[in-house]
Structure 1
Amino acid sequence: MKKSLIALAVTSAVAAPAFAQNSVTLYGIIDAGITYTNNSGGHSQWQMQSGILQGSRWGLKGAEDLGGGTKAIFQLENGFNVMNGKLAQNGRQFGRQAYVGLTNDSYGTLTLGRQYDPVVDMAQSTTFNGQWGAFFSHPSDIDNTDNGFRVNNAVKYVSPTFYGLKAEAMYAFGGVAGSFGQKSTIGGGLSYTAGPLYVGAGYFFAKNPAAQFDDGNFITNIGTAAAPVAPVVGSSNGHGAFGYVGTPGSMESASVGASYAFGPALVGANFSHVRFDDANQGSVARAGGAGDYVWFNSYELWGQYSLTPATTLGLGYTFTNGRDALANVKPKYHQVNAVADYRLSKRTDVYVMAVYQHAAGGSAKADIYDGVAGSQSTTANQVVARVGIRHKF
């Protein structure tokens, strides 16, 4: 039986209006593996982990033909941990995506709900992590190119493709009474495709991001200017790149990149800039109301090559530098990424991946995607290796 018919039976058992859908599709990914970290808080660590190459998920997609080239569409996507069955994305039922909207071949697509930002939509595919998963993110996914968080309450418009060009605009409402802009996000992006060439750029600006993106990697300061607490400014505070940021007033992220395919090879490059203004609110060094801002730039080159139709090898390098203005600290990260993937079938593959990171400046402690690969290293170096299996349905 086709999976679209299975999904239709599932949804119709829950709600009668599902019968009105022209199509409903059930889909998913299960990704599981064993991860080794050479230094996690001063000790080596072995762990079973879910969703590193791709997040484990199941979802429903639907479309109803309204006539005149217009369709009503929806997508509900659940993230879960296959190792223990728990929900991902901070315990949300449909934490990966949840939206409804309209699409038209001539006028574009308008959707409302919990969605990806333009950096993810337009620039993620030009990064190594966009091809091969979370471990290869820019440090701590500081710029959200690995969609460490999604955007709630978002209205998004995506244009039709015109001579290879596509545009996107998004606004997310904060919903705070008396303050239209608080906890809001605005963004946009462009992409261009011409045969084997892809170029993409995305941008977003978010107010009160630590409160808005509760499924992200922010290390929230709970103090105030009158009663400051640790974490302190100028240190990673045991949490990699996000440890320098604390609770910021705003986050601004921009990313641009390109990829090019030739024969069995694919190469890519990406640059991203992220800035946090009014950072480290309530921290020790902010006593007396002093302002702070933190920024990071990431420069990335990568490539992959299919040795056979079933075997692909990939290699990448990222350099990230930043500055915490108040402490005048300048952290740096060098990261080398490698992966080998073997497809057992169209839907199932096995893989081996490894990451080496070296930190300098600031507190000079390596931390490969804080909280995912383990805890921050007690030295400037950290190595992570993983073997896993992925199945799509």
Structure 2
Amino acid sequence: MKKALLAAALMSAGVIAHAQSSVTLYGRLDAGLEYINGLPTGVGPNGQATGSSHHFAAESGDWGTSLWGLKGVEDLGGGNKAVFQLEGSFNTMSGQGPGGGGLFNRWATVGLANDSYGTLLLGRELFIANGVWDFDPFGQSNWSSASLVRGRNWSQSSNNISYQSPKFYGFDVYGQYSLSNSTNWNGNGTTPQGRQGGLQLTYTSSLFQVRGIYDEIRNPSNGLLGGAYDPNDGSTILGGNGNGNGVYAYSREYSALLNVFLGPFKVQGAYQAIRSSGMTGALPGQPTTLDHFWGGVTWQATPAAAAIAAVYHVNGNNGAGNATIYTIGGSYNLSKRTLLDIQIATVQNSKGANYGLNANNFGDASSTGNPLPGHSQTGVYAGIQHSF
């Protein structure tokens, strides 16, 4: 009898523990068709592209990254919870995963959360610069706020410690600090990541939202806010201050962002100052500072249909020139989980500049896919996205 009672008690405890914990599988699939012109063709004797062409392509992730993940929570009592999240990206068109980025290349975190004190996480996360997402009219789609800074706002952060505060009178604070794990605090070429970190302050009301972000990404080869990696292979560290992505990869970034809510309209704007240091060997046309601006409006015409228009602009020093993206688009929700999307965009380059719609690395057109210097590029994308 005692054994039967003990077994029943254990089974009940198991049911209670299960009821206090949850694991959720979630994901998003994005796919569509794309036309884009101004793509480089041919290679001349100086290594530069000799012409340009166009393509029609089946693409994944133009409107939003295809991803899948798991997240869970366990109630520890006293308002405390243990939390975890695992998330990886993939290509819907090919089924391929993130490759060298690992199975969970976006998120792999475990930590503690409390509604009154906030959330503390350890692991891999999207870098704090991704906080511009909420203030980008196109939500960091493939042709938006990452394009003219060559992916600077898209990176992930390993060896990370982060803290998210609860809201307090409309304010909340978020901070990240990522260790280099090398024998030099900032990085010295012995590990694949230099020190990274940042701080974000947000104020939210019913009428508007403002956010300020400071962040920095250190060069893993020497710990500097500058330097380079191979423009053909972003995972290969060259070191030094010569050819490569430079300020687009290793720099400080100061961001001021604004949302204004006007009934069915949302007006958004931002300014980013991106600064490097120690880039004494920068090539002509390779900037050491960038000033990045954008503004746009979203009209929620109906509960299902939204129209979007935005302009993105960048200025670079050292002969890098400037470029502007003009884009319109929109989405139509077939359901709460499925939407159709379209985007039409063009990038106009000043003489010598070669920014593309895609966030290609710094370098000549033949090796990066950027348009020819001073040339424009135009694209159209239409697709479908499903979330689960």
**Fold-level match, TM-score > 0.5?**
yes
What's the counterpart of residue 50 of structure 1?
60
Gaps of 5+ in 1: 1-17, 232-242, 286-291
Q: Which has the larger radius of gyration?
A: 2
* Cα gap change, 1:187 to 1:221, in 2 (>3 Å): closer
Give the secondary-structure state (helix, strand or coil) at the position aligned to 2:133. helix
Shift of 1:188: 0.5
Counterpart position of 2:210: 199
Partner of 2:305: 311
Partners of 2:135 and 2:99 in 1: CA distance? 24
Which of 68, 77, 81 is the matching residue for 1:71?
Answer: 81
SS class of match (1:135): coil
Pair 1:135-2:143 in alignment: yes
Pick closer, same or farther for the CA change 1:65–1:57 going to 2, 3 Å.
same
Match in the other structure for 1:208:
219
CA deviation string 1:138-175 (max 9, x = no partner) = 43444733xx2111111001111100100122110101
Map of 1:267 onto structure 2? 267
The within-5 A match list for 1:2-81 is 22-41=21-40, 42-81=52-91
Structure 1 residue 204: Cα displacement: 1.0
Change (3 A) 1:322 1:247: closer
Task: Go from structure 1 to structure 2 and tell me whether the alpha carbon gap of 1:321 and 1:284 turns closer, same or farther (over 3 Å shift).
Answer: closer
Superposed, 1:129-168 pairs within 5 Å as 129-130=138-139, 133-142=141-150, 144-145=152-153, 148-168=154-174
Q: CA deviation at 1:366?
A: 3.7
| Cα-Cα RMSD | 3.0
Contact kept in structure 1, 2:304 and 2:333, CA below 8 Å: yes
The C-alpha deviation readout for 1:160-203, integer Å capped at 9, x for no partner, is 110010012211010112x1222111211100001131111111
Match of 2:384 in 1: 389
Equivalences for residues 247-266 of structure 1 within 5 A: 250-266=250-266
Q: 1:251 and 1:89 mapped to 2: Cα distance? A: 26
Structure 1 residue identity aligned to 2:272: S
Whole-angstrom distance in 1 between the partners of 2:265 and 2:177: 37
Worse-superposed segment, 257-266 or 382-391? 257-266
Structure 2 residues without counterparts, runs of 5 or longer: 1-16, 41-51, 188-193, 362-367
In 1, distance between residues paired with 2:73 and 2:94? Answer: 32
Equivalent residues of 2:309, 2:327 under 8 A apart: yes
2:176 aligned with 1:170, yes or no?
Answer: yes
- 1:209–1:175 distance in 2 versus 1, CA, 3 Å: closer
- Residues 32 and 164 of structure 1: is their aligned pair in 2 closer, same or farther, counting only changes over 3 Å? same
Name the TM-score, length of structure 2 as normaliser: 0.80
- 1:297 aligned to 2:297? no
| Alpha-carbon shift at residue 371 of structure 1 (Å) | 4.3
AA matched with 1:160: P
* Structure 1 residue 120: Cα displacement: 1.9
Q: Is the 8 A contact 1:295 1:322 kept in 2?
A: yes
Q: Which residue of 2 aligns with 1:240?
A: none
Tell me which residue corresponds to 2:4: none
Deviation (angstroms), 1:53 = 1.1
Of residues 95, 110, 130, the one that matches 2:105 is: 95
Residue pair 1:274, 1:297 contacting (<8 A) in 2 also: yes
SS at match of 1:84: coil
2:135 corresponds to which of 126, 129, 133: 126
Q: Do residues 180 (structure 1) and 175 (structure 2) align?
A: no
Counterpart-to-counterpart distance in 2, 1:371 and 1:211: 24
> Given the superposition, is the C-alpha separation of residues 77 and 221 from structure 1 closer, same or farther in structure 2, using an over 3 Å criterion?
closer
8 Å CA contact 2:180, 2:220 repeated in 1: no
Distance 1:389 1:210 in 2: 41
The 8 Å contact of residues 230 and 238 in structure 2, kept in 1 or not, is answered as: no
Counting only pairs closer than 5 Å after superposition, residues 210-289 of structure 1 correspond to structure 2 as 218=234, 222=238, 231=243, 245=246, 250-279=250-279
**In structure 1, what is the Cα distance between the partners aligned to 2:169 and 2:262?**
21
CA contact (8 A) 1:142 1:274 kept: no
Of 331, 334, 350, which aligns to 2:324? 334
Instruction: Report the equivalent of 1:347.
Output: 337
Partner of 1:367: 356
Contact 2:129 2:215 in 1 (8 A): yes
Distance 1:218 1:153, change over 3 A: same
SS, match of residue 122 in structure 2: strand
For the residues of structure 2 that align with 1:247 and 1:82, how far apart are their CA atoms? 28
State the Cα distance separating 1:369 from its structure 2 match.
2.2
* Letter in structure 1 aligned against 2:23: V
- 1:205-251 deviation digits (Å, cap 9, x = unpaired): 121168999999859674868xx8xx4xxxxxxxxxxx663897x41
Secondary structure in 1 matching 2:186: coil
